[in-house]
Structure 1
Amino acid sequence: MTKNTPNNWTGRDDAMVENMIRRGASRRELLKMLMASGVGMAVGGSLLTRATQAVAATPVFGGSIKAAGWSSSTADTLDPAKASLSTDYVRCCSFYNRLTFLDEAGVTQMELADSISTDDAQTWEIKLKSDVLFHDGSTMTADDVVYSLKRHLDEAVGSKVNSIAKQMTEITKLDDTTVKIVLAAPNADLPTILALHHFMIIKDGTTDFSKANGTGAFICEVFEPGVRSVAVRNPNYFKGATVYLDSYEYFAIPDNNARVNALLSGDIQVAASVNARSLRMLEGQSSVATSITTSGNYTNLNIRKDLEPGLREGFIEGMKYLVNREAIQKSVFRGLAEIGNDQPVSAANKYHNPNIAPKAYDPEKAKFYFEKSGLLGTEVPIVASDAATSSIDMAMLVQQAGSEIGMNLKVDRVPSDGYWSNYWLSAPVHFGNINPRPTPDILFSLLYSSDAPWNESQYKSEKFDSMLVEARGALDEDKRTSIYWEMQEMIANEAGTIIPAYISNVDAISSKLKGLAPNPLGGQMGYAFAEYVWLDSTA
């Protein structure tokens, strides 16, 4: 073997040491070999530690797991365009692929696309990977991409990203592996937008979503909306032998304590989005681990501006002063959160406006505004549910604060089942729970533009709408940042959405489960965990 020094020890030599560890070489034997090669004791020890960690992190093929999310309903769907719950996103990430995806650092990478290029940010050319197979054995072509993207423009489909997709004025096939997209105006974010869960690619002509015919890492074996799904590894996956699990079962356990207990008992291997209260149950448990992601997830209190009591001048302002953000951060989330300033772009995003001061907790100011609204002493219901992370705890804090100034806030605790279809967006005062989105344009288009599909407070502003279009086409980063900062101020001051904190998502997992990592699209590795995790039989 060639003699090495610490400065010219190579990756090939690292691999050799890892291989010797796998073959059973002892630490003493390896150190003796390293020193004979000119590597000192301290450096040799460091190399061995690194190699040992690499061996321990080596993925293992085989095995099955059960994983539990926190939300589901009978409206669960395998149609990516209509996906809205975490359970939908997890399944779509398993059964389908996107043209692009966001890696752990938030950088846009190619997936089904081989390349995406443009000269002016308005006309884009997408080159597709060749020989990608759908689960039915057919080859993916440009026809499938064109069909998948155009579905979002069809109002009858009911796509959750219709307002975002509308900017695509032309989607055409140039040849079997090339697609052209022309936008209504320049938008440099297009490759990132295509990484959203809704823009999964489906087979041309698909209308039946009782099973998923995608290109993804897993094949759908069982799908029972509101109950469970079972997925088995795709033997023809275009990424090759990169999927480790043989299969996995996914379902929801809405109650946090029940979800954690299922993990502790070994019934499941993933308990997604565990709230701070339930974390106490995990303390000192060697059989479990946690994965923490802080990327812009939040639970917000929504007051519809088109309904009573939101129509009353002063009520929304009063509620903003009644929310004790520091208490929510410390007590409700046990410090696993960052204080929010009533707009959806978190500090993790480069466009976050740090100059917007969160409303201070001021019960006397809140009382002044409630008196102005004529509602002080009147019973006002607040709808909360375990379906919206920690919303019940937050509602109880606000209720207590209200009682101290004579404001009668009644917490209506409703079941998780049906919450998103029956109460979210509908109740006059209610909670939402928004998953991270990678760009302000996506957040604003989904939640705050006048035609946003999830306009939680029914905020309407022609100025905001025009600024959204202007920022989208601004290639000058300073100008774009300036516009986004002003839009965040408008939301904080004018909308009826109160965002007290950006939550650190905590997924609790079995210590045997390896490979889970944070992702800017949210917990459970941006909902794509199943493709990347494995079971360590030695743990």
Structure 2
Amino acid sequence: MGKKWFTSLLTVLFVLSLALTGCSSSSSSGGSAGDAKQELTYATTSKVVGLSPILTNDSVSSTVIEQIYETLFVRDNKGEIVPHLAESYENPDENTWVIKLKKDIKFHDGTPFNAESVKYTFDKLKDPATAAPRASLLAPVSSIEVQDEHTVVLKTEKPYGPMLAALTHSNAAIVSPTADKKQDLMKDPVGTGPFKFSEKVNGDDIVLVKNEDYWQKPAKLEKITFTVVPEVSTAISMLQTGKVQLIDALAPELMPRLEKIKNVETQKVDGTPVYYLAFNMEKAPMNDLKFRQAVSQAINREGYLKKLNGLGVYSNSFIGPEVFGHPKDDKGPKFDQEKAKELVKASGFDKKEVKMLVANTASYMNMAEVIQAQLKEVGIPAKIETLEWGTYLDVSKTGDFDITIAGWSNVTGDGSELLFPRLHSANIDATNLSRYKDAELDKLIEQSRSVVDQEQRQEILTKADEYVMTQLPVLPIYHGIASAAYDKSVKGFKMEPTGQWSLYSVHRE
């Protein structure tokens, strides 16, 4: 009888252990089915350079930064600029911006968000010692004053037309002064946003968690993981199997595969980015207009678009169709292979190999190979040199190349904030990769920034774009379509024309 009782006891314990194991399995994934899904993993092929909005200026880092930090103003669904951390603004005169701030907002470390924190952030962004890559956003601002706890006053020496657009830029996001003085925000960021930094794992992967004390309603997602997957084909396989729920900046050749995956949805939006060829204007033969014309005529840009599976728009202008200041008329060069061959032969451009610097992302590499082949057809030998994303960002600023493939997201949606950082002489060694110095273009760009009347600004930007497309320090290859692919369980995801997205309103079902 004792043996039988013992066997029965073992059976009971076994059944009980199964039940407990089942409970444990359920709770480890978040308890209820709804909770279990409120996590999202985003895959990127490149490493994040850093997490300070002041010290970074690349799309990979911005993707994470925009979940953690916030700006005074944002663009709404209609593209209109509206207050965000700001409550309102007024212009008592054309050189003064009085900005009222929302109250009762705190940074993730408990520091109050107020006028002092705005002044601290903007002063540091402007300070030459900081060497902020987008200091140009606030270059026209001559002083930043704290009027009271929730009012900051920006003054300029002359009118600054794109002021509000500049203040929507993620590089103008407000940081915690307390945290910035105490720690390295590149590694340990502190903002006011709906998600806060949790940890860095596996050397590269970044984990964010919901900010329970967010000043608006807390986010629905509990946890976001930004994981580095160097091979995009691997990232797609992970999306298909459910290990990853979101990828973006899709390469055109991958669209057919993505659209066939049953558990995946894709989203495309006409975008503001421009992808272009930058000529190093400090080196020969790039500083010869005939060379730049030959290259421009050699590249079949409209033909290249056909390979993009709907992920690009042709426009023979540097300022794209979705950006303020886009010209109505086409003043740029046309594809003409025979003319290109004649120029190359007559000028001896076939005698010297040019170095084409390219970041090792799939889209840039594909573009480089097409350009290399088409240059070869007209007699220009080009050698591709590839670098990892972060290294490319550093090297491209130094001018250690002949030509390079570059991109600009146009986060502000304003043509002045494309032309000034990319082509004004003040930004050589920073964002002016062409190292272009032209007094006439500098003057037009400055006018586009110092005029407040938007119709006048449109006229000036049109003139500036026409000048760029005749002098050709850059050659736009195509204008981007913002794109993403995500698991069907992801709800509320929306791409912006800038290619940006926020996970604040996203949840999983």
In which range does the TM-score fall when normalised by the shorter chain?
0.7 to 0.9
Shift of 1:391: 2.4
Q: 1:270 & 1:174 partners in 2: Cα distance?
A: 43
Verify: 1:499 aligned to 2:461, yes or no.
Answer: no
Q: 1:442 & 1:504 partners in 2: Cα distance?
A: 19
Change (3 A) 1:363 1:377: farther
Shift of 1:85: 2.2
CA distances 1:118-161 after superposition (whole Å, capped 9, x unpaired):
13332011111111011122321211111011111111111122
5 Å-filtered alignment, 1:375-414, equals 375-387=349-361, 390-414=363-387
CA distances 1:292-317 after superposition (whole Å, capped 9, x unpaired):
12222122122101023313452111
Shift of 1:487: 0.3
Find the counterpart in structure 1 of residue 64 from structure 2. 91
Shift of 1:114: 0.7
Q: 2:79 & 2:176 partners in 1: Cα distance?
A: 28
Q: 1:87 & 1:251 partners in 2: Cα distance?
A: 11
Matched residue of 2:200: which SS? strand
Across the aligned residues of Structure 1 and Structure 2, the Cα RMSD in angstroms comes to 2.2
CA distances 1:488-517 after superposition (whole Å, capped 9, x unpaired):
011112242111211212211111111112
Verify: 1:370 aligned to 2:344, yes or no.
Answer: yes
Verify: 1:153 aligned to 2:126, yes or no.
Answer: yes
Matched residue of 2:147: which SS? strand
Find the counterpart in structure 2 of residue 348 from structure 1. 322
Shift of 1:211: 1.2
Query: Which structure 1 residue ranges, 5 or more long, are not aligned?
Result: 1-58
CA distances 1:268-300 after superposition (whole Å, capped 9, x unpaired):
111111110111221321200111122221221
Q: 1:224 & 1:81 partners in 2: Cα distance?
A: 23
Residue 280 (structure 1) aligned to one of 238, 244, 256? 256
Find the counterpart in structure 1 of residue 395 from structure 2. 422
Contact kept? 1:120, 1:186, Cα under 8 Å: no
Q: For residue 311 of structure 2, what is the amino acid of its counterpart?
A: L
Find the counterpart in structure 2 of residue 16 from structure 1. none
Find the counterpart in structure 2 of residue 9 from structure 1. none
Find the counterpart in structure 2 of residue 451 from structure 1. 426
Verify: 1:440 aligned to 2:415, yes or no.
Answer: yes
Find the counterpart in structure 1 of residue 491 from structure 2. 514
Residue 268 (structure 1) aligned to one of 203, 227, 244? 244
Find the counterpart in structure 2 of residue 67 from structure 1. 42
Q: 1:164 & 1:462 partners in 2: Cα distance?
A: 20
Shift of 1:87: 2.8
Shift of 1:534: 0.9
Matched residue of 1:307: which SS? coil
Shift of 1:254: 4.0
Matched residue of 1:330: which SS? helix
% identity of equivalent residues? 22
Shift of 1:224: 6.2
CA distances 1:383-420 after superposition (whole Å, capped 9, x unpaired):
33432x62222222233323333332233344456332
| TM-score where L is the length of structure 2 | 0.87
Find the counterpart in structure 1 of residue 28 from structure 2. none
Residue 273 (structure 2) aligned to one of 297, 303, 306? 297
Q: 1:412 & 1:202 partners in 2: Cα distance?
A: 37
Q: 1:96 & 1:326 partners in 2: Cα distance?
A: 38
Q: 2:202 & 2:57 partners in 1: Cα distance?
A: 13
Matched residue of 2:197: which SS? strand
Q: For residue 158 of structure 2, what is the amino acid of its counterpart?
A: A
Matched residue of 2:435: which SS? coil
Q: For residue 426 of structure 2, what is the amino acid of its counterpart?
A: D
CA distances 1:182-233 after superposition (whole Å, capped 9, x unpaired):
0121124322210100011112252421311211111111136971211110
Contact kept? 2:298, 2:378, Cα under 8 Å: no
Find the counterpart in structure 1 of residue 220 from structure 2. 244
Find the counterpart in structure 2 of residue 223 from structure 1. 200
Find the counterpart in structure 2 of residue 185 from structure 1. 158
Matched residue of 2:266: which SS? strand
Find the counterpart in structure 1 of residue 299 from structure 2. 323
Matched residue of 2:177: which SS? coil
Q: For residue 237 of structure 1, what is the amino acid of its counterpart?
A: Y
Matched residue of 2:145: which SS? strand
Q: 1:298 & 1:478 partners in 2: Cα distance?
A: 23
Contact kept? 2:54, 2:171, Cα under 8 Å: yes
Find the counterpart in structure 2 of residue 164 from structure 1. 137
Residue 125 (structure 1) aligned to one of 68, 85, 98? 98
Matched residue of 2:260: which SS? coil
Query: Which structure 2 residue ranges, 5 or more long, are not aligned?
Result: 1-33
Find the counterpart in structure 1 of residue 20 from structure 2. none
| TM-score where L is the length of structure 1 | 0.82
Structure 1 runs (4+) deviating above 4 angstroms are: 59-62, 413-417
Find the counterpart in structure 1 of residue 232 from structure 2. 256
Shift of 1:341: 1.7
User: After the TM superposition, which of the residue ranges 216-225 and 125-134 deviates more from structure 2?
Assistant: 216-225
Q: 2:477 & 2:37 partners in 1: Cα distance?
A: 43
Change (3 A) 1:416 1:93: closer
Q: 2:92 & 2:355 partners in 1: Cα distance?
A: 53
Matched residue of 2:54: which SS? helix
Q: 2:396 & 2:103 partners in 1: Cα distance?
A: 45
Aligned length: 468
Q: 1:360 & 1:324 partners in 2: Cα distance?
A: 8
Q: 1:186 & 1:417 partners in 2: Cα distance?
A: 36
Contact kept? 1:299, 1:390, Cα under 8 Å: no
User: After the TM superposition, which of the residue ranges 193-202 and 511-520 deviates more from structure 2?
Assistant: 511-520
Contact kept? 2:70, 2:192, Cα under 8 Å: yes
Q: For residue 323 of structure 2, what is the amino acid of its counterpart?
A: N
Contact kept? 1:122, 1:184, Cα under 8 Å: yes
Q: 1:492 & 1:107 partners in 2: Cα distance?
A: 29
Matched residue of 1:314: which SS? helix
Q: For residue 270 of structure 1, what is the amino acid of its counterpart?
A: L
Find the counterpart in structure 2 of residue 359 from structure 1. 333
Matched residue of 1:432: which SS? strand
User: After the TM superposition, which of the residue ranges 413-422 and 490-499 deviates more from structure 2?
Assistant: 413-422
Q: 1:412 & 1:330 partners in 2: Cα distance?
A: 25
Residue 431 (structure 1) aligned to one of 365, 383, 405? 405
Q: 1:121 & 1:68 partners in 2: Cα distance?
A: 45
CA distances 1:242-267 after superposition (whole Å, capped 9, x unpaired):
x1100101133343322222211211
